[in-house]
Amino acid sequence: MLAPPMALLLELTHRCPLACPYCSNPLQLAGMKQEMDTAGWREVIRQAAEMGVLQIHFSGGEPTLRKDLPELIAYTRELGLYSNLITSGVAADEAALDHLLACGLDHVQLSIQDATAEGADHISGYRNSLQKKSRFAEWLKAREVPSTLNAVIHRQNIHNLPAMIDLAMAWGVGRLEVAHTQYYGWGLRNRAALMPTREQLEQATAIVLAARDRHHGELVIDYVTPDYYARRPKPCMAGWARRFMNITPTGEVLPCHAAETIPGLVFDNVRQRSLADIWNQGQAFLKFRGTEWMPEPCQSCPKKELDWGGCRCQALALSGRADTLDPVCERSPDHERIQALAEQEAAQGDDAFVYRRPEKVVEDV
């Protein structure tokens, strides 16, 4: 019998004050009028609890822009599920945070774009972003809220990684996620402006390893490496449709946040089909679940039930096919070409961003 997903990522909205050029949201953003209503999201949470899901992650866009967020968190607590808020920290005031905590919020994941005010504003496309995040972090620290700091790094901020680690210590978070940009959505659109050099990657890795030793017992540091320089693929989402489900603002149910980029997949909407039925029998979930879909040399690889073939969306983006080897694997015929592509883009020095904006594309000049 198929085990239920461990967690649901609820993308309540695509609305967000920030315009981060590495955002994994799709290039076509859902508008406010397309968003599922409160009753719809409550039904999703109810079905999740019934299935045996353990965690609900409230995301976006910026989830605090939804006026019904306190009600949804309270309902999550009522059903005995763990709640995590994934936020930019710039849209909620202190009273709003207290309201969410009173409703039963368990954990907060706060994002930063850089450790300097100038860099943070440039990357986020939003003024005074770091100042507002710092204030939000102070509120979390004062209330001893379990929290994670998420730092997405790339060529234009990687030099400030030591300062980001210092911020995590100063802000009193329990966990820091140092995540190299993953190239989906706007991240893929801006890849040439974001790709680090191999030297930068090696330096960042050394910094993280040293910081883990230095702050052992005080700060847990997770490290997400960039796939393009790797020799082996990561088990994306712990394997396609094995542990996680993603619900878009419009109610589409996805095996991962970028799955809509794959042509030919049929995505069910939770307003027309039950969550459990989609998880067990949905066409998009069955397509790449397990190992039967795998071609050679994946089929004969002893690691096939460890990395589950890597990322389907990345395979599509880099090779043009979702049903082939993830090109970051050294056994892929595209492997050397992808590494050369990464090095070429990193060396070009083109730092112009296309910012994440609804209904229009804004070039950074």
Binding region: 16, 20, 23
107: nearest Cα among 145, 142, 68: 145
Residue 162, sorted as left (phi over 0), alpha (psi -120 to 50) or beta, turns out to be: alpha
**Gap between the terminal Cα atoms of the chain:** 54
179: nearest Cα among 163, 197, 201: 201
Q: Peptide bond before 297: cis, by omega within 30 degrees of 0?
A: yes
Counted residue by residue, the chain has a size of: 365
Which residue(s) pair with 56 in the sheet? Answer: 8, 83
Distance, in Å, from the CA atom of 230 to the CA atom of 318, rounded to the nearest integer, reads 14
What Å distances lie between residue 280 and 38, 49, 273, 296, CA to CA?
25, 16, 12, 26
Place of tokens 């920290």: 89
Binding residues for [4Fe-4S] cluster: 16, 20, 23
Q: 363: helix, coil or strand? A: strand
Tokens representing residue 45 in the block: 């949470």
Distance, in Å, from the CA atom of 365 to the CA atom of 358, rounded to the nearest integer, reads 19
Contacts of 231 (CB under 8 A, 6+ apart): 328, 329, 330
Q: What's the angle, vertex CA 345, arms to CA 341 and CA 351, rounded to 5?
A: 160
Backbone angles phi, psi at 251, to 5 degrees: 95, 5
